[in-house]
Structure 1
Amino acid sequence: MRVLIVTVGSEGDLQPFLALGKRLLAAGHDVTLSASDGYAARADAVGVPFAGRPTWSEAEFQENYRRIAGSKDQLRQLSDVIEFLAKEQRAAVPRLMELARDADVVVNSPLAIGAVAAARAVGTPHVAVHHTWPLRRARGYGPTNIDFGPLGNALAWSIVGSGVRRATDSRLNPVVTAAGLPPWRNVLFDASHSPLLNLIAISPHTRRHDPLFGPTYRTTGYWFLDEPEYTPPDDLAAFVAGEPPVVIGFGSNNGFDAGAVTRQLLTAIRGLNRRVVLLSGWAGLGAEDVPSNVFLAGFVPHGWLYARAACVVHHGGAGTTAAAFRAGIPQAVVWLQGDQLHWGRQIARLGAGPAPRSHHALDAGWLRGAFDRLLGDGGMTDRARALGAAIRREDGTGMAVRAIEEVSVAT
């Protein structure tokens, strides 16, 4: 079976698809991953064949992300995301059509609208993947991922869905027509769904399968990319070798004042009497001098670092949250946008961390209280450990591969 995998976004959006690609290759299938050209080296490092396509540079991505995340207006955030996405996806369509013609099945992330248009244009079946939550009417949550009850959720989906369609169809349909197809109605929602198979790459222990999804939706468990070849620098290895440290990092988020946030973090850490690993991320946290009990690091694989940590404070990205769940450590979320608030609330609902905090309201007092709870609440620690043990028993990528094989044979 020839599988084309297409994803859009940052490192956290890439990793689950690298994990799937590795597992498909191990099962004897031919795999090609199409993502931003900047990720060619990442794909090569884990042995997944890569096909680049016209896309934004990392500098463009960071600048647009900074503008989007820095806004408090969610409608403006959505507008900026769609404008940025539509430009990239329209340019990618010709290349994606070439790749889709040579594939037996296309597996795509929800925002890879160009991949869906290309697959439909050339007649190749496509499988949708949801590694945050399905952008689809549900009984258990509304479109902003808040549960208003069954009736309230139905009303919210109708109202918000209509507004999103009016705001996005005109911008996204040029992606569809670039593939030679007539315009679609409700492009954003339609492209995130496959009539064949929809894989929810989330643990059922962290998010229940919604009864409205139907038989084409399958919750597989998380898709983790293990990188056992990682060898840490000697100073980092020595730093984490003793008492498990606190880890702090906001990943690819950069829509905030890094200097101000660093000062809040250092104020909260003062007197904590605990080692701390501070991940600088795209925002450049820790640019000023840090005390001796703080280790300032760049990229460190979460699978390696979280397994050695006591707890973590992060931005609430789906991949980062999943890694902390798997490690079985308590976690607290300082959210900026998108699904991050949702995952912060899920962590609190599961008893694995405190309620989330917006980065606009971040202060040293809240941070210190979060550290004290994460390190001192035995019940929270026990719940996080139990959740981690359950997730480590799952085989999300294996279930996904079997599901793709089943529908490919059927078609």
Structure 2
Amino acid sequence: MTGRVLFFPWAWGGGAAYTGRCLVLAAELAAAGAEVAFADCGVTAMVREAGFPVLDSGPDAPRPPARHPTPPYLPFADVERVFAVAATFHRIERVRRRLAADARLIEEFRPTAVVIDMYPTAALAARAAGVPVVSLADADFVTPRANGWMPWSTVAPRDLLPHPSSLPVWDEVSRGLGLGPVARAEHLLWGDVTLVSSDPGLEPLDGPPHRGTPHYVGPMYWNPPAAAPEPPRTDRPRVYVTIGSGGNVARRALQNVLDACAERPWTVYVSSGFAFEGGLVVPDNAVVAGFTGLDAPLAWADVVVSHGGSATVLAALLHGKPSVVMPFMSEQELNGRQLAEATGAGVLLRTSATTPRGRLAFTDRTSGPADGPYVPTEDIRRGVEDVLADPRYTERAAEWGARLRARREAADLVGLVRSAVAPTAGVRR
């Protein structure tokens, strides 16, 4: 494929999975002959390690902070709350500054297509410039259902996170660009072609597309070219642990996981992410590595303990490995409910419920109603023991793995991007 493709991955709140998904597509496009570049809005260390150029958005463009304090659980009920709370895009001046930076990059790079992963300002800038948009998405990014990230909630999204709404801002900005009204924040994330990195049997859209055509393409995740330390050789049950890319919440939760695994007859291999702060007490049966990628440790593991990130749980299923999920936010809990418990391919250690007054109540799988901010060590230990003891978890993961591999192998990512660019694509701009 000839042409130039500019990527805009989301990075507020971490973003390694979004950047990684973009890198998968970027590598295929580059191999097919396209010129590829990334805006500096994602995890740029990953982009540079993969060998792609990073374009500077300029000093005035809003960017995610290098480190941001977060509570033990974030109840984002839908993408609008993510835009408003994580990126403070309820402030119109911030949206306009990011939009101006994105528009400048598009004007200078002159792409034949723009690829977004949960990045609304780049989608608006591209459409205003007449450039086709390809969207990489989880199904819950674009679902029309209410409380798309938290469908078990019984209250309005702003009852849980009462920041001002970003929707009036998106509507005003879109109208100002001549692109018409914005009725829902999810509509911003529909591309002329939308690639959903899952399977419809796992994550249905629950409604018609807002724009263009959605295509389920199977899991998309990135493995770093630099090799991480190899998982340990062992004859004991193998537990792979990956709970995000650092920060105080992840460190405390990871210590609970390590404590749960201590003195158990298992071998434990831990991905500590990109920006992990140390200070861990590591038991003798555990090895802590850096950013390990997913394929090698998943091929090694018997069970995966994770935060429930979409890329991680789907990759575990792809490899036929069951999951033990301990979520730090609502979308991760949704992944645990849909991709682990509903499939029978794992367990979810903590669930949330909403009260009529907009409060959250948590219940741990083993110990019941939760008082503490983190899943207790005994619940973690019991979850791993239960999954290791029951082969049906692995059998069900293997069944879904076969389906996901078939879907991923059948996906023509380059052809799908080409269809967005082709004049005969038949999509609305």
**Range class of TM-score, shorter chain:** 0.7 to 0.9
**Which of these residues, 287, 293, 297, is aligned with residue 285 of structure 2?**
293
Give the structure 2 partner of residue 325 of structure 1: 317
- Note the C-alpha offset of 1:321: 1.4
Change (3 A) 1:379 1:279: same
Whole-angstrom distance in 1 between the partners of 2:198 and 2:63? 29
1:296-348 per-position Cα deviation (integer Å, ceiling 9, x unaligned)? 22211112211111111111111111221222111111111141011000111
Deviation at 1:88, TM superposition (A): 6.3
Paired residues for 1:239-388 under 5 Å: 239-240=232-233, 242-243=235-236, 245-252=238-245, 254=247, 256=249, 258-259=251-252, 261-281=253-273, 284=276, 287-346=279-338, 347-357=340-350, 360-388=373-401
Quote how far apart the aligned CAs of 1:180 are. Answer: 5.1
CA contact (8 A) 1:262 1:285 kept: no
Report what 1:51 is aligned to: 55
Instruction: Label 1:90 to 1:302 Cα distance change in 2 as closer, same or farther (>3 A).
Output: farther
More moved, 396-405 vs 81-90: 81-90
Once the two structures are TM-superposed, the CA of residue 282 in structure 1 deviates from its matched residue by 6.7
1:94-243 residue pairs with structure 2 within 5 A? 94-101=100-107, 102-110=110-118, 112-131=119-138, 133-138=140-145, 142-146=147-151, 167-172=165-170, 184-186=181-183, 188-194=185-191, 196-208=192-204, 210-213=206-209, 216-227=213-224, 229-233=225-229, 236-237=230-231, 239-240=232-233, 242-243=235-236
Structure 1: state its 5+ residue gaps: none
Whether the aligned pair in 2 keeps the contact of 1:8 and 1:35 (CA below 8 Å) is no
RMSD of aligned alpha carbons:
3.6
Instruction: Give yes or no for contact 1:90–1:174 (8 Å, CA) kept in 2.
Output: no
Give the fraction of aligned pairs with identical amino acids, expressed as a percent: 21
Do the aligned partners of 1:324 and 1:330 also contact (CA within 8 Å) in 2?
yes
Q: What is the Cα deviation at residue 56 of structure 1?
A: 6.0
| More displaced 10-residue stretch of structure 1: 390-399 or 268-277 | 390-399
Cα gap change, 1:373 to 1:285, in 2 (>3 Å) = farther
The yes-or-no answer on 1:93 pairing with 2:126 is no
Q: Is it true that 1:28 corresponds to 2:33 in the alignment? A: yes
Deviations 1:105-138 (A, max 9, x none): 222122x122112112212222222135233314
- Aligned-residue offset at 1:175: 6.2
- Counterpart AA for 2:288: L
- For residues 49 and 121 of structure 1, the distance between their equivalents in structure 2, rounded to whole angstroms, comes to 24
Amino acid at match of 1:403: L
* Per-residue Cα deviation, 1:77-99 (whole angstroms, up to 9, x for no partner): 74421416867654333332233
**Equivalent residues of 1:106, 1:119 under 8 A apart:** yes
- After superposition, the Cα gap between the structure-2 partners of 1:248 and 1:225, relative to the gap in structure 1 and judged at 3 Å, is closer
Q: Would you say the 8 A contact 1:341–1:356 is kept in 2?
A: no
Q: Is the 2:258–2:282 Cα contact (8 Å) retained in structure 1?
A: yes
Aligned 8 A contact 2:6 2:114 in 1:
yes
CA change 1:118–1:46 in 2 (3 A) is: same
1:34 partner amino acid: A
CA distance in 2, matches of 1:173, 1:62: 30
Q: Which residue of 2 aligns with 1:399?
A: 412
Q: 1:116 to 1:264 in 2, by over 3 A?
A: closer
Distance 1:275 1:88, change over 3 A: farther
**Aligned with 2:142: secondary structure?**
coil
Check whether the contact 1:37–1:53 (CA below 8 A) recurs between aligned residues.
Answer: no
Relative distance call for 1:388 and 1:182 in structure 2 (3 A) is closer
1:151-192, Cα deviation, whole Å (9 max, x unpaired): x9xxx9xx7699999711345568658x85588444623312
Amino acid of the structure 2 residue aligned with 1:4: L
Q: Distance in 2 between matches of 1:71 and 1:246?
A: 24
* Pair 1:136–1:204, CA change in 2 (3 A): closer
Distance 2:337 2:112 in 1: 39
8 Å CA contact 1:204, 1:221 repeated in 2: no
Whole-Å separation in 1 of the counterparts to 2:403 and 2:86: 35
Q: Which runs of 5+ in 2 are unaligned?
A: 352-371
Task: Quote the Cα distance in structure 1 between the aligned partners of 2:67 and 2:171.
Answer: 25
Q: Is the 8 A contact 2:137 2:197 kept in 1?
A: yes
CA change 1:84–1:312 in 2 (3 A) is farther
1:339-396 Cα distance to aligned partner (Å, 9 max, x none): 1011000111011101342583511221111011121111111111222233223336
How many residue pairs were aligned?
A: 388
